A and B are shown apart, each in its own frame.
Chain A
Amino acid sequence: MTLAKRVIPCLDVAGGRVVKGVNFKDLVDAGDPVELAKKYGAEGADELTFLDISASVEERATTLEIVRKTAEQVFIPLTVGGGIRSAENVNELLRAGADKVSINTAALARPQLINEISDRFGNQVLVLSVDARRADTKSGFEVTTHGGRESAGVDALAWIEEGISRGVGEILLNSMDADGTKAGFDLEMLRRVRDICSVPVIASGGAGRTSDFTEAVAAGADAVLAASVFHFGEIKISQVKKELAKAGFPIRP
């Protein structure tokens, strides 16, 4: 009996629609979030992630409505990220039907936010989303903001360690070098993070082939996340799981 490796489709949501671009640019419409969530649930997704990439104040209500509708129809865990700035934002999302939330920019601006959310709701609800790229820092990786366009001036591995000590329950590690390239996950970064990380790690950014997911799990990922390859039907969730099973990793059939 072993914990299954999770396969997670990520839906980048803006203006109530799922969108996808390369390195967060040139966004293309990829469908209705609730319909896509249902489709993925039926195809065997182990969790779903919604990322509100517009995250403007006026769109928060739209996001809450999408979360509500999804939670009513899809009975697998749902993580929601984007624009979360307070424990009260988290409370709204949890009450709307989210099971976990992911935070990124707001935690960099004010790390204490991690403690505030974790103390109130437990560390199991909190995912730290880290947009990292190769750089001349202590670990060789730095944290970026604004969809990878700007440096946050923080070492990625040091930030992950701080996040865990403040109370995050999971790391969503997104390679900004690999994101949208379909050239595979950044395996070296994944191994380095796995080595220092006492909570589960989700690998994100760069999936292009079915074998990329298996390599990420072999490098230590507890879960693998992708967006466009799933949305545009290039890879099916069932294919990823089949390949993982073939490589000897436990999956949920």
Chain B
Amino acid sequence: MIAIFDYGSGNLRSAQRAFELAHSQVVVTSDPKICSEADGLVVPGVGAFAACMDQLISVGGREIIAQRVAKERPIFGICVGAQVLFETSSEKKKSLGLGVLPGSVELIAAPLLPHMGWNNISAESGSKLFEGVENELFYFVHSYAAKNKVPGAINTTCEYGEEFIAAVEMDNVVATQFHPEKSGDAGAKLISNWVKSL
């Protein structure tokens, strides 16, 4: 079973449907037991970093995610749901993240923000997530991103004004700054790659 973590952040319907194309059992829930024990947990996120963290913490998200990491159970963070896995963010004021991934989330140095639309990525060789979609474009909508590669992980980058992290694959944690559930066929393939790895 795949659980999509419903902690009050944004559009979950598209995510649910997109993951349902790859897996027969997908639930949208904030139930701690289901979120802890599902084969895969999707952490979505829209809006401001600090607000997302607050909402996540209020439903026990910090503990659920820490436990899953300790038990090597797969997690897939999307957009701000990916950002909160890092240590800190400088959005508005400096805020603490979950610290599952090392590094900070910073404003992208580009003349035009948000970075909004389809952009191509540079997948690091050995990526399972991007298998078959290494040369596709994905849909981004954000102004902040992690910029430093995560040591020991597979780092996929994107360039907009400067280079930043588009996706990280580290042990059982996967995080994408873009929205695979909004990235058409390429996104569907990427989701299916992750589901197959569970």
Contacts and interface: CB of A to CB of B under 8 A. Distances in A.
Interface string B117-142: 11111100000000000000101011
Contacts, number: 105
A99 B113 contact: no
Interface centre among B11, B179, B182 (most CB of A within 10 A): B11
Interface residues of A, number: 35
Given A94-B10, A95-B11, A72 B17 contact: yes
Interface string B149-173: 0000000001110000000000000
A99 B111 CA distance: 23
A6 B118 contact: yes
Contact of B112 (A2, A41, A199): A199
Interface residues of B, number: 39
Contacts of B90: none
A198 interface: yes
Contact of A76 (B46, B47, B111, B139): B139
Given A75-B18, A75-B187, A124 B111 contact: no
Nearest to A67: B13
B112 to A, nearest CB: 6
By secondary structure, the A interface counts as loop
B100 interface: no
Given A98-B11, A120-B47, 10 more contacts: A3-B160, A4-B137, A75-B188, A76-B183, A77-B179, A97-B14, A122-B47, A123-B143, A200-B117, A252-B118
Interface of B: 10-14, 17-18, 46-48, 51, 111-122, 137, 139, 141-143, 158-160, 179, 181-185, 187-188
